[in-house]
Structure 1
């Protein structure tokens, strides 16, 4: 018996946001390692504080908003412009390159498993060096083509990112596995907040995040030793 469109969308979303998907997310701290080095992050409580801030700032004003802008796009030219803008607004070099690297992996994995006109065009333009491939944009196009609801697409990406970062913190701080699960449970509230907050934002809000977070991400580039690529 054929599956329903809703079930197909759910299964596709589960595959493409699974922490086991080989995008390289396991090698990125997205800045928390800087706080780890300065001993501002030392345990479950301090990591949770940072993660909540990251969710309410960078994930809400960049990734979550970008996903919504993809859902609002009328033509692929809108994606071209958005791809350039979201790449340019990522000031820390490691964050910009990390987002592109993970985005390319998701793009080509997604294009193979769930081909569509927009995702194929995106992959072609990235291969030709005409576009960059930000992970949130790639996911949004895939989710939109799969029939995933907009709020669900935002929630899935934000939640998957927080889970990935928590798994990296379990290794890097280190935290125990039970502590990691407590953080992830608490993060569900931050996901809901990101979904609600991003729905109130517009194009001009893209990238309006805390300078302190970006400075920490820039400082990571110059650390003498590090476990993560960003």
Structure 2
């Protein structure tokens, strides 16, 4: 019960991780007419979850399965950094990663968190959230299936919250939609449960285009 309560706390939207400052391209998708109604938003959410699974879950698997902070993990980290081609998304990923590291250092003070922080500093590499998340959660005692579910929950929660804050959908409708989408997690994850980072792939290129277009919005609610 204690572990379950901690798990619920770590996915709480009140944690200051910085994720709510970004819409990951949702705002520009709505502004430029790529998403016009709830039906299209549902399709967008499914595509977003699919890309999160195909791109990020293999990297999460590889990081979780590395027992040590070594050169092989460095290669995984550098490969992920090379995929972050949109500057604003790269920046958001690093900010969220740094915030998460400070959060975990506060919740779980000790040598494990300090070791991770020292390793990133030693190699002078960006602290991306997708890389840091499984490293910290493993050391906090959570299993890989827990981490998979937590990550997709965070991805889904942030997108639905962004849609509500943009006034695109109402709070009740958004939360009902989020509840319904949990039934898709197993299907979305199924193909990527055992894949490593060399098998990661992007599956929704229009999402990347929307993220690039975000900078051209005249008045923005979100950074990206």
* TM superposition score normalised by structure 2: 0.90
Contact 2:69 2:119 in 1 (8 A): no
- Say if 2:158 is the partner of 1:164: yes
Shift of 1:20: 1.0
Conservation of the 8 A alpha-carbon contact between 1:31 and 1:217: yes
User: Which stretch of structure 1 is more off in the superposition, 202-211 or 45-54?
Assistant: 202-211
Deviation at 1:69, TM superposition (A): 1.0
CA distance 1:161–1:228, shift in 2 (3 Å): same
2:134 aligned with 1:143, yes or no?
no
Q: 1:146 to 1:9 in 2, by over 3 A?
A: farther
Alignment partner, residue 65 of structure 1: 58
Matching residue of 1:41: 35
CA distance in 2, matches of 1:147, 1:8: 12
CA deviation after TM superposition for structure 1 residue 37, in Å = 0.8
Q: Residue 21 of structure 1: which of 15, 37, 40 is its match?
A: 15
1:209-228 residue pairs with structure 2 within 5 A? 209-228=203-222
| d(CA) in 2 for partners of 1:228, 1:41 | 17
Structure 1 segments of 4+ aligned residues over 6 angstroms from their partners: none
Partner of 1:113: 107
Aligned residue in 1 for 2:4: 10
Is 121-130 or 132-141 further displaced after alignment? 121-130
Cα shift at 1:63: 2.3
Q: TM-score, normalised by structure 1?
A: 0.87
Q: Match of 1:198, SS?
A: coil
- Native 8 Å contact 1:86 1:207 kept in 2: no
Over residues 181-205 of structure 1, what are the superposed CA-to-partner deviations in whole Å (9 max), with x where a residue is unaligned? Answer: 1210122133222321221433222
User: 1 CA distance for matches of 2:11 and 2:211?
Assistant: 24
1:179 alignment partner, one of 146, 149, 173: 173
What CA distance in whole angstroms lies between the structure 2 residues aligned with 1:127 and 1:178?
Answer: 43
Which deviations, in whole Å up to 9, do the C-alpha atoms of 1:45-72 show, x marking residues without a partner? 2222111100001x11232222211121
Measured on the aligned residues, the alpha-carbon RMSD in Å equals: 2.0
Task: Evaluate the alpha carbon distance shift between residue 186 and residue 164 of structure 1 in structure 2; reply closer, same or farther with a 3 A threshold.
Answer: same
**Which 5+ residue runs of structure 1 have no aligned equivalent?**
1-6
Question: 5 Å matches for 1:186-197?
Answer: 186-197=180-191
Q: Answer yes or no: is the 8 Å Cα contact 2:26–2:162 preserved in 1.
A: no
Structure-1 separation of matches of 2:166 and 2:5? 31
- How far apart are the structure 2 equivalents of 1:112 and 1:84? 27
Q: Which moved more, 1:108-117 or 1:155-164?
A: 108-117
* Count of residues paired in the alignment: 223
Alignment check: 8 A CA contact 2:47 2:204 kept: no
- Unaligned segments of structure 2, at least 5 residues: none
1:195 and 1:177 map into 2 onto residues whose CA distance is 27
Distance 1:99 1:190, change over 3 A: farther
